[in-house]
Amino acid sequence: MERGGAVKYLSLLGVAFLLVGAVACSWSKAKPLVPLALEPGVKAQAVTLTEQGTQAYQARQFDDAKNYFSQAVAAAPQSGPAHYNYALALNALGDQEHARPQFMEAADLAPGDKVIWDSPALRPFGDPKSAKVFKGPLTGTSRPSMGGGPR
């Protein structure tokens, strides 16, 4: 290959790599984190609080969202999505110390919920694929636990 041909070839190769990289980066853009609806059968009060919290969260009023979601957790303590939503608001406020246990509880309460388990919000708090099995203290049932064991 001539010198001019080699330079042209390397230039085209560089452009191709840049194009592939740009496309790959656009595919991996994180989806925005959004609060989840609660499961069917949850108290109407918890559903209403979650709707109000979701409106506040989407309006970027994270303190208000935190308060609504906290009340939703109190009304539906066995709801994985309620804990997840509360954790999202805490995380948005930069309170990772309190968000972490809420994310963990959400994952423990909703072991099959791909949205919760695959959420980018959970990634800093542990890898669900390496989660250990947790023996529930009341029921003796097994469920994944991202916390690494009994609390």
**How confident is the prediction for the chain on average, in pLDDT?**
77
Q: Which amino acid is at 32?
A: P
Query: What distance lies between CA 115 and its chain's CA centroid?
Result: 7
Rounded mean pLDDT, 12-38: 64
pLDDT for 130 beyond 60: no
CB neighbours (10 Å) of residue 147? 18
Please report the pLDDT score of residue 90 as a whole number: 96
Kindly report, residue by residue over 89-101, the tens digit of the pLDDT.
Answer: 999 999 989 999 9
Element (H, E) at 145: strand 142-145
Q: Where are the alpha helices (DSSP H) in the chain?
A: 3-27, 44-58, 62-75, 80-92, 96-109, 114-117
Kindly report, residue by residue over 29-64, the tens digit of the pLDDT.
Answer: 556 789 999 999 999 999 999 999 999 999 999 999
Whether the pTM exceeds 0.95: the reply is no
When mean pLDDT is compared across 4-8, 20-24, 42-46, 51-55, the lowest value belongs to 20-24
Estimate the crossing angle of helix 62-75 against helix 44-58, to 10 degrees: 160
Residue 145: φ, ψ to 5°:
-135, 125
Kindly report, residue by residue over 81-126, the tens digit of the pLDDT.
Answer: 999 999 999 999 999 899 999 999 999 999 888 888 888 777 776 6
Query: So where are the chain's domains?
Result: 31-145
pLDDT for 148 beyond 80: no
CATH 1.20.120.1770 fits 31-145, yes or no: no
